[in-house]
């Protein structure tokens, strides 16, 4: 397989942008989707889409599918919707599930025809270590856990077509959003850092490197797997389960 055309959602900032740059450098033609452009040059083609709107997402994906035969997909877009269980609203649950899981399903469906024609495909789902559980993350953790389950299901369903499906579960990553919510010097930031055995937060490039591994042709015998890229922070979480 010589040509790689890869769709990345949530592609204009943080982990998504790092993945776009890393895969471009690896020779992929990158196509990005996000709610809006960042204002900075994007390393490939870009189309704005609101992943919380199923119809708008379907229309945007149909437009892209007419232009490109995708052989790669990185489902990165997400939203948190933090609420304690007694405060949870089903509207928030629906929104979180659509953006984290529903949009991923829509993207897989849009990319499958091109992958099947090529007899080759790579799907990487960006989940989270919070699939293991955290207060206020009923919706987000549930959606990311569902994405891990879907990864295994898709690996089984698509293997005969030469398509692999794998997931990455990042720990705390030093993105613009994370820094805004956890400012340097804040008690919350220091608390989260203390839970990372390697003693630092992840960088978007750490996640992008893992994505590039799963995307590589040489990784074709790896499917249905979840790789925790978290500096060891999930190890303490699993000890509590």
pLDDT at 38: 80
Q: What average pLDDT does the chain have?
A: 93
pLDDT at 241: 45
Mean pLDDT on 15-24: 97
List 140, 154, 201, 214, catalytic entry: 140
Expressed as residue numbers, the domain containing 36 is: 5-239
Residue 117 banded pLDDT, cuts 50, 70, 90: very high
pLDDT in tens, 180-209: 888 999 999 999 999 999 999 999 999 999
Mean pLDDT on 123-147: 91
Mean pLDDT on 136-160: 95
Mean pLDDT on 201-222: 97
Cα separation, 208 vs 21, in Å, equals 9
Residue 23 banded pLDDT, cuts 50, 70, 90: very high
The answer to whether the beta carbons of residues 58 and 98 sit under 8 Å apart is no
pLDDT in tens, 39-69: 788 999 999 999 999 999 999 999 999 999 9
Statement: residue 134 has pLDDT above 90: no
Domain count, the chain: 1
pLDDT at 240: 45
Catalytic residue list contains 120: no
Cα 109 from chain centroid (whole Å): 16
220-226 LR contacts (CB < 8 Å, sep 24+): 220/162, 220/164, 222/164, 222/166, 223/155, 223/159, 223/164, 223/165, 223/166, 224/151, 224/152, 224/155, 224/156, 224/165, 224/166, 225/166, 225/167, 226/127, 226/148, 226/151, 226/166, 226/167, 226/168, 226/169
Residue 37 banded pLDDT, cuts 50, 70, 90: confident
Statement: residue 2 has pLDDT above 60: no
Q: What is the CATH number of the domain that holds 135?
A: 3.40.50.720
């Amino acid at each position: 397989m010589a040509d790689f055309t890869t769709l990345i959602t949530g592609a204009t900032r943080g982990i998504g942008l790092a993945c776009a740059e890393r895969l471009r450098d690896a020779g992929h033609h990158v196509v990005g989707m996000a709610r809006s452009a960042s204002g900075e040059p994007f390393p490939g083609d870009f189309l704005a889409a609101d992943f919380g709107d199923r119809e708008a997402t379907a229309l945007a994906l149909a437009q892209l599918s007419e232009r490109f035969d995708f052989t790669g997909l990185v489902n990165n877009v997400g939203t948190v919707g933090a609420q304690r269980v007694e405060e949870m609203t089903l509207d928030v649950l629906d929104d979180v599930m659509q953006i984290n899981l529903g949009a991923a399903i829509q993207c897989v469906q849009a990319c499958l025809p091109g992958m099947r024609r090529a007899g080759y495909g790579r799907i990487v789902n960006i989940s989270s270590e919070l699939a293991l559980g955290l207060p206020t993350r009923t919706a987000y953790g549930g959606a990311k856990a569902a994405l891990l389950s879907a990864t295994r299901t898709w690996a089984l369903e698509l293997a005969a077509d030469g398509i692999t499906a794998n997931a990455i579960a990042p720990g705390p990553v030093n993105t613009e959003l994370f820094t805004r919510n956890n400012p340097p010097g804040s008690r919350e930031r220091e608390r989260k850092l203390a839970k990372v055995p390697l003693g630092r937060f992840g960088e978007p490039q750490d996640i992008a490197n893992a994505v590039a591994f799963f995307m590589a042709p040489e990784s074709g015998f790896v499917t249905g797997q979840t790789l925790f890229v978290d500096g060891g922070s999930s190890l303490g979480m699993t000890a509590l389960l």
